[in-house]
Chain A
Amino acid sequence: EADIYQTPRYLVIGTGKKITLECSQTMGHDKMYWYQQDPGMELHLIHYSYGVNSTEKGDLSSESTVSRIRTEHFPLTLESARPSHTSQYLCASSGALVVRTGPSSNYGYTFGSGTRLTVV
């Protein structure tokens, strides 16, 4: 079934470690996004991509980096994690309108389940 997947769901790591959060989608969507979500709920766009070899910085400055070598894959990397990076990270994708059954549709974005990162 077409979907978007994030791994890991939960991650606890020590300060200074390098980490990569994975995001893959099987919908063939061109656009992909990374959001950082505060404990207070607000979403902050930190990176997005229009397609292969395209990466853009979002509204919130972030020390993370992203790459888009394949359409389906949009990993986010932190070279040296710090406690201030502790947050929920959400990946999303969007593409051309496709009719799909079920309660959701392909209007707007499709989100992954998120990665909750804790840096100690």
Chain B
Amino acid sequence: GEDVEQSLFLSVREGDSSVINCTYTDSSSTYLYWYKQEPGAGLQLLTYIFSNMDMKQDQRLTVLLNKKDKHLSLRIADTQTGDSAIYFCAETKGGSQGNLIFGKGTKLSVKP
């Protein structure tokens, strides 16, 4: 199967919470990342989590990590139209110095 899997699309209403899910395969991944790509732009690092953490919160963003199930999620509280973008989950392949392996991206659409 794929190294990093994500659902391709998510649609929410403005003000609701968005939850984007990701599963990965490499248990030696030291860091796991969420990147955001706005239309016509490159990827921007949104947040990351160390593999020895279960949760990380940063303003409207909450990252949850379940190492046993190799499951990562990104929750965006009070989703705004400006959050509409593609969100990529990424793991580090082969330890902290390895290349990043990206998921295929989840396109988040926020309806007013």
A76-92 CB mask vs B (1 if < 8 Å, else 0) is 00000000000000101
B100 contacts A by Cβ under 8 Å? yes
B33 touches A41 (CB 8 A): no
A19 contacts B by Cβ under 8 Å? no
Instruction: Tell me the bound Cα distance from A112 to B90 in angstroms.
Output: 17
A43-B88 CB under 8 A given contacts A105-B45, A110-B45, A112-B42: yes
List the B side residues contacting A45 at CB < 8 Å.
99
**Which parts of B87-112 form the interface with A (CB within 8 Å)?**
88, 90, 99-100, 102, 104-105, 107
Count A/B pairs, Cβ under 8 Å: 50
B104 touches A108 (CB 8 A): no
B42 touches A113 (CB 8 A): yes
A12-34 CB mask vs B (1 if < 8 Å, else 0) is 00000000000000000000010
Chain B residues in contact with chain A, CB under 8 A?
Answer: 8, 31, 33, 35, 40-45, 48, 86, 88, 90, 99-100, 102, 104-105, 107
A85-118 CB mask vs B (1 if < 8 Å, else 0) is 0000010101000000000110111111110100
Instruction: Tell me the bound Cα distance from A12 to B40 in angstroms.
Output: 16
Q: How many residues belonging to A are interface residues under a CB distance threshold of 8 Å?
A: 22
A114 touches B41 (CB 8 A): yes
B43 touches A41 (CB 8 A): no
Tell me the minimal C-beta distance from B90 to chain A in angstroms.
Answer: 7
8 contacts between A and B (CB under 8 A): A41-B104, A48-B99, A107-B31, A107-B45, A108-B90, A111-B35, A111-B42, A114-B41
Instruction: Tell me the bound Cα distance from A35 to B100 in angstroms.
Output: 12
A43 touches B102 (CB 8 A): yes
Instruction: Tell me the bound Cα distance from A113 to B42 in angstroms.
Output: 4
- Given A108-B31, A109-B43, A110-B45, 7 additional A-B pairs, CB 8 A: A43-B88, A48-B99, A94-B100, A108-B33, A108-B35, A109-B45, A111-B43
